[in-house]
Each structure stands twice: as C-alpha cells, then as structure tokens.
Structure 1
Amino acid sequence: MKKITFLLFVFCATQVFSQDMKALKATAMRDAQAACNATLKQDFKTLLTYTHPNILNAAGGAEVMEKYLESTFKQMNDEGFVYEIAETKSVSDVVKEQGEHRCYVENYNVMKMKDKRIVSTSYMLGFYNETAKRWTFVEAKEMKDSGAIIAYFPDFKTAMKIPENTMEMKDIKE
C-alpha cells in the first residue's frame, strides 16, 4: 500500500509540475509577443516592462532607457527605417536554473531600410519574475561570454542550447 501511495504521489507531483511548466511557457509566449507588439508600436514604456531589471539598472533606469530608445528610433525612422514584422515564433521548454525559471524565445523580424529589407530570426533569453508574474527578456547573444551585457549578470550559467541569430538582407525591387 505504501508503494502505491508513493507512486500515486510521484505521478500527481509530476503532473502538477508539467502543468506549471506549460503555464509558464504560455505566459512566456504571451509576454514575448507583447514585447514585440510594443516594439512595432514604438511603445517603449511597455517594452521596458519586459526588459530585465539588470539591463534597466545598468542603463540608469527605465526613464533613461526610454529616452534613449525614443531618440534612437526617431533617428532610424528619419533615415527610412521601418519595422514591418516583429513576432514571437516559439518558446523553448522552461527550465529552472540557479533558482529561477528561464526559457528562450525565437523572434522573427522584418525591417525595411531605404531600398533594403532585413529578415532576421533572433533569440531572447527569458527570466520569470515570480512577484510580477511576468517574463523579462534580454538578447540571448549578448549573454554569451563575449556579449555586451553578460557582465550585468554575475555568475550567470545556463545549460540551454540557444540557437544563433540569423539575418538576411535583400534588395527591394518595386
């Protein structure tokens, strides 16, 4: 009887854990797409709610970062840069590493700049904030040893195998 009770407990615990991970994966997809939508709308205040706090702190806070994004996008827009598509295509399995839930998301982007169209697939590393019940993201390529932001994440390690970004530039023939 003890063995059956134990096996039943293990089965139930596994099912609950699996459901929790599916729910976290679904919220990662929701939040990553919300960040993409904010990028398309140039709604930087919303976008920054999905940016990891370590990045915001390193930049001097959300207000400083928002002003920087506004001026950068204005300059890009003035030069003919337009985001045409920004969407989240997929979310990896959620893992628990170093005491936090993480995943990576695959984003598909199409941008236009003058007579060129840029098509890219990029990856963001997601961190789940238990308190806010929201995911925040950083560029995955920047979290590698040679990345520009890894220094803001002391002792960061991951076993996730995050694919490399891809980018293709094409002439627009209209």
Structure 2
Amino acid sequence: MANKLLLSVICFFSFFSISKAQIESSIVDAAHAYARAQINADVESILNFTHPGLIEQAGGRENMKKTLQLIHQNQQNKGIKLQDFRVKESIQHTRSNGEIHALVPVVTTSKVPGGQLISETNLIAVSESGADRWYFIETTSIDERNVGKVLENWDGTLILPFKKAPVFKEDKK
C-alpha cells in the first residue's frame, strides 16, 4: 500500500514537472516568434501576439494596426531600430481564472543615434487555451496598480518586477 502511495506521489510530481516544463517551453517558443516579429516590424504578426483586450481598448484591430505602424515609422524616422530581443530564463507562471499568466524577462537592444540602448523588461504572457496560443503584454507602462485594467483576470499571484532604467552604450569612435 505504501509503495502504491509513493508511486502515485512520484507520478503526480513527475506530471507536474513535465507540464511546467512544457508550458515554459511553449512560452519561450512564442516569445521568440514575437521577438522576430518585433525585430522585423511585422505588424500583422505582432497583432497576432497582442492580447485581444489591448486590441479592443485600442478600438479594434485596424486601429491597433495603424498605431503600431505609426510607432514603427516614428522610431525609424528617429533612427531607432530594434536589433536584438532576447528571452531570459526564469519564467514564472501561474493559473488565474482559467488563464495561464507568465512573466517573461527579456532584454532588448536598439540601435539609436550615437549608440545602443539596452533595456531589461518583462512581458506578460497570457494563454486562454491552456498553453496552445500565447498573447503578450509589454510592461513598460504597466505596474501593480494598473495591470488589472489591462488584464482583467490578473490575480496578483505574480509580482511585476521593478522597472530598470535602460543602459546607453555609446558607439566607439
């Protein structure tokens, strides 16, 4: 009897570990695809990864598309180009009201006039369908006080890290 109980406990924790690893792997894959879309200014793909609530708040898909295009055009006009978008390890995730929420640490490097701007930030990854499809919310203008306005099912289990100031690295002359 004790052996059966021990086997059951081992199976439960093995399943939990595999499930956790599969979720994190799925998030990383989606985040890499999102990063490629950002680097290539592929607005359609970015929209496909944008949380539907954000699209709705922007007035629909076409309005959000125009906004993203305008942002990319303004950055291009200012000589700003995203060069690198790396997903860091230590993804945290939880289940909240039927959704999976995850904090995904990322490091971005942008070419700016006179150098590079390196930023460490986090994305919030959201899956409404059990890790099959991921949406991302950038946290540059989100904190603990307003995250619930953007993501209704946020339960506060995950704590948004403090924001770090970007680091400017001047071009070598």
TM range (shorter): 0.7 to 0.9
Aligned equivalent of 2:151: 153
Letter in 2 for 1:22: A
Shift of 1:106: 1.1
TM-score by length of structure 1 reads 0.86
TM-score by length of structure 2 reads 0.86
Identity %: 22
Q: For 2:108 and 2:95, how far apart are their aligned partners in 1?
A: 28
Aligned equivalent of 1:30: 29
Q: Say if 1:158 and 1:145 are closer, same or farther in 2 by CA, change over 3 A.
A: closer
The answer as to whether partners of 2:92 and 2:158 remain within 8 angstroms in 1 is no
Aligned equivalent of 2:136: 137
Aligned equivalent of 1:165: 163
Q: Say if 1:150 and 1:95 are closer, same or farther in 2 by CA, change over 3 A.
A: closer
Which secondary structure does the structure 2 equivalent of 1:11 belong to?
helix
Letter in 2 for 1:5: K
- Structure 2 residues without counterparts, runs of 5 or longer: none
Q: For 2:103 and 2:131, how far apart are their aligned partners in 1?
A: 19
The count of aligned residue pairs is 172
Structure 1 stretches of at least 4 aligned residues deviating more than 6 Å after TM superposition: none
Is residue 10 of structure 2 the alignment partner of residue 11 of structure 1? yes
Shift of 1:40: 0.3
Shift of 1:131: 6.5
Letter in 2 for 1:44: V
Letter in 2 for 1:73: H
Shift of 1:157: 2.0
